[in-house]
Structure 1
């Protein structure tokens, strides 16, 4: 990577340090913010289970649960029991997909995702064990133990989103859902010439839990990358409380699904919640931000850059395997993925769902409730496409990753 210099903005009168794009924002040497404080009611330190460092997960056994042969046989039996009911696949739930032995393990995953470290990988289910239809029923059956409510992911009601490369035309190939490259955002004045390589961490809109079915992995790259939002919060609270104030301000100008303003960081019912995607705030070359709406301010750009820098510094990289099911707390953790290369034998293909557990789910801030309500509205149409479909079936969204 190039080491082109750029400037880190600091308050007036402070010395401006020149760093390189291979460095991170050095918050420990930032000017003391003695005159600034955290927003009213925000905690000075979080002591949740979602506060972690990647070194805690050097051993995959700390977050990967391997299915036993007995577990697989039980899944086979549950699949046959459900199919004997002659129901549509989207009607599978924990009552008609019985897992008396594996179920308690899945309940433990649900608790860990909501109240523990915030993520888990379920491994060992061979991709050729089932046809596509049966594999989807098993995925839905397992996730019904993690979070029983399934959420729409766009305005046409798509419940499944296929995250896979699509080189059929330039526009599709550059979209975050179908690109093999790192995600590209518009450069701010604080970023150098290599800022187009920025890989922004984010959360998905309108989801408590992200669930992924791994149908295949890339020939190289494509790792799933996580960062603890609560660890990021603690570092900011200790070193740059002014950034927390900026993130929690209500004037962030989102472009989708329409122009509106809200915070990207919330302290709600004793929970600290992140909810944002950088593309919806700054746009990019292929999805430019409308000129008729306000742009983010220099202070907001700095806050996003610092947030992403800490996440990058403390990232956890996860190498998925075909057949893996991957669950993430979308309110406490930030995520992104690496660029990747497919070949004739390996084409990265994840199927993503948005979920909510009504018993364990976190209370949603008022500013976000209308989006959750729309995604969960049982009166609205649902579309279930178990294979990738043309763009007309899956409208591309600026904020989808």
Structure 2
């Protein structure tokens, strides 16, 4: 989809009002950022995300027209019309810049020691220029706004988890069945406090005619480093291997340009990233501004998905990372 001139003007008008009233982006409400000209397009996007293919791309915003704070306000305000933002870390982060953060990411975002060396959490890997394997995020919807692109690499890749699931059933139905049973995941780098460092969660699920898949091999591998977690069987590893293979076979790859927006429904879309190289001196620094959203109309999930989502009923507020408790 492309934003036309009238729709950009509508966004700018909403932004100007917020700036003139000195409203911080983090406290912004949907009512404070009205987008009447965009209402029909936003409804189409919402429907496509929940009832269609689960992915929507949007173009037309020019990041260079805005200050950094204005761009965050515009992005946050636009996203409010698709759902309620949920936290991306235990401290209540609502927007995260996905970029190369340099050295020390393991110490900042979580790491473990394994016999093969240092094992980085998924959050730490996201803050590196390394490849990211196919995975889903911890929210119904993930939105990404490209602020800057890399000098080379960094292509985004998406694959339909529905297609992967159906192809797995066609080729190896027994392995598909394995992924409907719980597999242990670690909370490394994501959730704070408590005694529960791991939890059981199936990769596949279905309820009320709606499919869901939650997959990140990194969390599974991290759980296997915990001595109290039951060891994965060869059949379970084979099922995850086939899933990864099928995602590679059926993926679509593209390059984000500044201003490009992508919304994904994590229940039906896996996403991944190629490794990248920045050249900040020449103006090339890959940065995607990420938001996690809970839409007002989301699907019901199977009961055995509650360890991750907490609330599994349809049209409920869920997703994101639990806030750390204050003593």
Q: TM-score, normalised by structure 2?
A: 0.83
Q: Which residue of 2 aligns with 1:109?
A: 45
Q: Which residue of 1 aligns with 2:125?
A: 176
Does residue 372 in structure 1 map to residue 305 in structure 2? no
C-alpha distance after superposition, 1:300-337 (max 9, x if no partner): 11000000100100111121111222100111111111
Q: Which residue of 1 aligns with 2:171?
A: 239
CA distance in 2, matches of 1:348, 1:377: 26
Q: CA deviation at 1:75?
A: 1.0
CA distance in 1, matches of 2:107, 2:59: 31
CA distance in 1, matches of 2:267, 2:105: 32
Does residue 346 in structure 1 map to residue 284 in structure 2? yes
Of 199, 203, 220, the residue aligned with 2:152 is 220
Q: Which residue of 2 aligns with 1:197?
A: none
Q: 1:70 to 1:203 in 2, by over 3 A?
A: same
1:214 touches 1:323 (CA, 8 Å); kept in 2? Answer: yes
Q: Tell me, what secondary structure is at the counterpart of 1:128?
A: helix
2:154 touches 2:286 (CA, 8 Å); kept in 1? Answer: yes
1:266 touches 1:273 (CA, 8 Å); kept in 2? Answer: yes
Q: CA deviation at 1:377?
A: 9.2
Q: Which residue of 1 aligns with 2:216?
A: 277
Q: 1:377 to 1:179 in 2, by over 3 A?
A: closer
Mean Cα displacement is larger for which, 215-224 or 75-84? 75-84
CA distance in 2, matches of 1:84, 1:367: 47
1:210 touches 1:354 (CA, 8 Å); kept in 2? Answer: yes
Q: Which residue of 2 aligns with 1:253?
A: 184
Q: 1:288 to 1:366 in 2, by over 3 A?
A: closer
Q: 1:377 to 1:280 in 2, by over 3 A?
A: closer
Q: TM-score, normalised by structure 1?
A: 0.68
Does residue 165 in structure 1 map to residue 104 in structure 2? no
Structure 1 alignment gaps of length 5 or more: 1-64, 184-199, 383-401
Q: Tell me, what secondary structure is at the counterpart of 1:114?
A: helix
RMSD: 2.5
1:166 touches 1:172 (CA, 8 Å); kept in 2? Answer: no
Q: CA deviation at 1:239?
A: 2.0
Q: Which residue of 1 aligns with 2:114?
A: none
Within 5 Å, which residues of 2 pair with 1:10-25? Answer: none
Q: Which residue of 2 aligns with 1:331?
A: 267
Does residue 362 in structure 1 map to residue 299 in structure 2? yes
C-alpha distance after superposition, 1:272-310 (max 9, x if no partner): 110121011013xxx982234223211111000000100
Q: CA deviation at 1:126?
A: 1.0
Highest CA radius of gyration, 1 or 2?
A: 1
Within 5 Å, which residues of 2 pair with 1:100-179? Answer: 100-147=36-83, 149-169=84-104, 171=106, 175-179=124-128
Structure 2 alignment gaps of length 5 or more: 109-119, 192-196, 312-316
The structure whose residues are more often strand, as a share, is 2
CA distance in 1, matches of 2:143, 2:105: 28
Q: 1:170 to 1:330 in 2, by over 3 A?
A: closer
CA distance in 1, matches of 2:224, 2:202: 22
CA distance in 2, matches of 1:181, 1:281: 19
Q: CA deviation at 1:381?
A: 6.0
Q: 1:93 to 1:107 in 2, by over 3 A?
A: farther
Q: Which residue of 2 aligns with 1:201?
A: 134
Q: CA deviation at 1:125?
A: 1.0
The structure whose residues are more often helix, as a share, is 2
CA distance in 1, matches of 2:289, 2:231: 33
Give the total of aligned pairs: 294
CA distance in 2, matches of 1:132, 1:292: 45
C-alpha distance after superposition, 1:116-167 (max 9, x if no partner): 11111211211111111111111011112222x1111222222222211122
Q: 1:129 to 1:109 in 2, by over 3 A?
A: same
